[in-house]
Amino acid sequence: MTRRRMRSLRAAARRRVCVVGVLVGLALSGCASGPMPASGPVPPPVGGGLDYQLGGAYDPAAGVDIVVRDSTDEPAAGLYSVCYLNGFQTQPADSQRMLEDSPELILTAGGGPVRDENWPDELLFDTGSAGKRTALAALLLPLLTNCARSGFDAVEIDNLDSYTRSAGLLTAEDNVAFARILVTAAHDVGLAIGQKNAADLAEPLAELFDFAVAEECDRWQECGLYRAAYGDRVLAIEYTDDLRVDFAAVCAVPDRPRSMILRDRDLVVAGAPGYAYERC
């Protein structure tokens, strides 16, 4: 079982989703104006300096080539930019609306919605049937399009491992089937797409995804799984509050991911109390 990053409530609360129609035919209208990218998906530069800015955008340090930001922020000018989306669970601000507008797309058990036990304001999407996966994709397609039109180069889709929190109601196969739809959709709008966590699925999913985003792979000794599947196409983040060994020792591991950083758990902006950033 993989462990996804324990996102801060402050960071989670600031995320929001554009209110859009759910018809697939309207998906390419997006939530923003502007031309679609003319070229096909381009993966992150191998070994590029990484920064992970989900808690808020700020000017990257010298030597940074790749920046991951929330979909509600602008991409980093002149740098390879990855757009964060929550693909397998609701965002806290949208949970009630989803229950009212599309309750059939929320996983339920015992008469109520299934919640992420670590983040109870997030409800699990029901990826358990082809029809529901198609309907969920219609909700996310405009958001992918918005990432592309905003100028991002790639997208990472969070909570691929939601099936591990579904009390057995979902399977890995359900989420992989939905991931296939999202990969195709991302590529169709010119975005590369990264597998987020779920190390146990890295080998089969490397044929679908363009790269991997691995949180705490050293802490949980999963880096080898990502490296075996993706080679140098791994963006790795460790956190200051739960290191397995000193970060210098992490960086000294010969076969570690080449793009590897240390961040504070809340991913606060540079200059804020608690901010931490180191790069191998």
In this prediction, residues 56-82 reach a mean pLDDT of 98
How many other C-beta atoms are found inside a 10 Å radius of the C-beta of residue 252?
Answer: 11
Counting the structural domains of the chain, the total is: 1
Residue 195 lies inside a defined structural domain of this protein = yes
Helix (H, G, I), strand (E, B) or coil at 40: coil
Per DSSP, 125 falls in state B
Residue 244 lies inside a defined structural domain of this protein = yes
Residue 149 lies inside a defined structural domain of this protein = yes
Q: Identity (one letter) of the amino acid at 134?
A: T
Say what the pLDDT of residue 247 is. 98
**Residue 196 domain boundaries:** 9-16+36-279
pTM, to two decimals: 0.86
Distances from the Cα of 132 to the Cαs of 10, 124, 247, in angstroms? 30, 13, 43
Distances from the Cα of 269 to the Cαs of 60, 123, 125, 224, 275, in angstroms? 10, 27, 30, 30, 7
Residue 58 lies inside a defined structural domain of this protein = yes
* 272/56 Cα distance (integer angstroms): 11
Residue 230 lies inside a defined structural domain of this protein = yes
How many other C-beta atoms are found inside a 10 Å radius of the C-beta of residue 261?
Answer: 22
Residue 238 lies inside a defined structural domain of this protein = yes
pLDDT digits (tens, 9 = 90+) for 178-224: 999 999 999 999 999 999 999 999 999 999 999 999 999 999 999 99
CATH number at residue 258: 3.20.20.70
Residue 26 lies inside a defined structural domain of this protein = no
Residue 253 lies inside a defined structural domain of this protein = yes
pLDDT digits (tens, 9 = 90+) for 146-182: 999 999 999 999 999 999 999 999 999 999 999 999 9
Instruction: Please determine, for residue 112, whether its predicted confidence score (pLDDT) is greater than 70.
Output: yes
